[in-house]
Structure 1
Amino acid sequence: MKKSNSQKISLGVFVVISTLLLISILYFIGNRQNIFGKTFKISAIFNNVNGLQLGNNVRYSGINVGTVKGITMINDTSICVDMVLENKMLKHIKKNAIAAIGSDGLVGSMVINIAPNSEASTPLIPGDTIVSYSRITTTDMLSTLNTTNENAALLVSDLLKITSAITEGKGTLGLLITDEEMAFNLKKTTSNLRSMSLNANKTMVEIKNIITAVNYDESFAAVLLSDSISATQLKSIITNLETSSRGIDSLMLNVNKVLLSANSGSGTINYILNDSTLVRSIDAIVKNLEVSSVKLNENLEALKHNFLTRGYFKKLEKQKAKEAKKLRRN
């Protein structure tokens, strides 16, 4: 009887401990899977889940905030991943957050990392689908490396053909490398071009110095360069000078004709120029006129002082004075 009771007590203790242990395990697992807490659901669409499985962790900024609850194939290029997150993260995660699949360490299980976006956005609503980012997989990297290797092999083959043609002296570059005369001519041409460039540079410096030396405030050159009215006037002056020059040429031709006619003809001009007797007569007449003019002035002066004509001259002087006053008033 005692033996039976001890067995019952041991069995009861085992059952109680097993029950407590089972409850603890269930609570621990449920706590990790958010069974006993309030949660909300969101989704993300990926092109490749990279081995993601149900129950894998979901992290937000490196903190575990939920788990993967469903993986559904939409089509051959889209896979919908449903996530269950803690309800307390609802106010922190925004609609423009970005989900990406990564690994937990080098050889760990896959996880979903949700990263916040730097741009402002509205809070997340349960059931929303956030933007996803698919990282490059190892297979993609190997495929890219394989393509790169093939392109590199083709490039090396083409370079080998080009270098072989150059070595054989084919093409312009091959001639430059193998033909010494052509290389010398090219070197000489380059030297000539350099000399021309230096001379052109010197000429430009001299022109710049000339332009800098021009006084743009007072110089005639500055007026011609900057004042369009003065330039038009100068152009008109040059045109008038050309016209005057043609008129002077025509006048000189006529004068030459007149002189030739005077020298060779028998007219009055020739007679005046060549007859010395006429010249002496004209000289005597001029002298007589000068003497007569002096005597006439003396006679006029005498008449001014004569009592018979003195009144007349005074009257003339008064009349001249009145006219002078009128002119001053006007």
Structure 2
Amino acid sequence: MEASESKRSVVVGIFVFLGIILFVAGIFTLAGQQKRFVKSININAIFDNVAGLKIGNNVWFSGVKIGTVKKIDFYGSSQVKILMNVEEEAQKYIHKNATAQISSEGIIGNRIIVINGGSLNLPNVESGDRIGVKKALDTDKMMEDLQANNKNLIDITGNLSVITTRMVEGKGSIGALLTDSSIALNLRSTMAGLSKASNNINNTAVSLSAFSNKLNHKGGLVDKLLTDTEVFSQLQSSVGEIKKLSVAAASLSNDLTTAGAKLNDKDNAIGVLLNDQETAESLKKTMLNLESSSAKLDDNMEALQHNFLLKGYFKKKAKEEAKEEK
């Protein structure tokens, strides 16, 4: 009986001892996580909104845990003062113009404070110093923006659904192109015409290039005009002669114009004959009288030739003319 009680006491003692060991190990583990046995300094920061930060949340610097949130108090009218317990070893990396920002461990993790070390040329912080803050991202605002973006995305997908439905039904220009074979054939014909026109333009460009090369051929007219000074001087001389001829033609035209103007005047004989009706009638009568007188003169001469008094004279004259002709 006593042996069994002794054995039970030993077993209970062992379990108690193991419990004490586990308890002490837990205490040391928690203390290690909370940096309870590490020399530290206290710094503080004033935030407008701590976004659910709690006492015991971690303080990070460059991705490394350097302390914990020690105390949270209200400050002023609506601000919050955060007291942080930071390792003394990290003090040399944190400067007077350092800033603190509330963030989170992952997307939905615990809230943490992230410290930015500041400028290297400034002194390090000391215990009791207050550092600046950087406004944290507002997750509620982010969720509102995300919901608005989701609504816009739903509207866009709805519009795309309507557009694709109309296209499938053959409505609109694009739908007609996709479903109407005649429009597709016309478009294909138009593209073929454009391709043919492009080929014609290319052929024309080639022809123009060949023509240009011929113009620049050695010994050609254009080459001589551009390079042969003798041909150029001859051409220049010809142009000068053409200019002189043009001046002479202009002078002749002016003279003809002047003469034509004088023909319309009555201060000269030709002008009177062309423009004076009475003078023209008188001249016509004079010409008729001259013709009548000439006929009568011919008759008189014929009569004189047959007159016996002058008959010998005319015979002698006829013989002399016949002799001269021989």
TM-score range, shorter chain: 0.3 to 0.5
| TM-score of the pair, normalised by structure 1 | 0.45
| TM-score of the pair, normalised by structure 2 | 0.46
Whose radius of gyration is greater, 1 or 2?
2
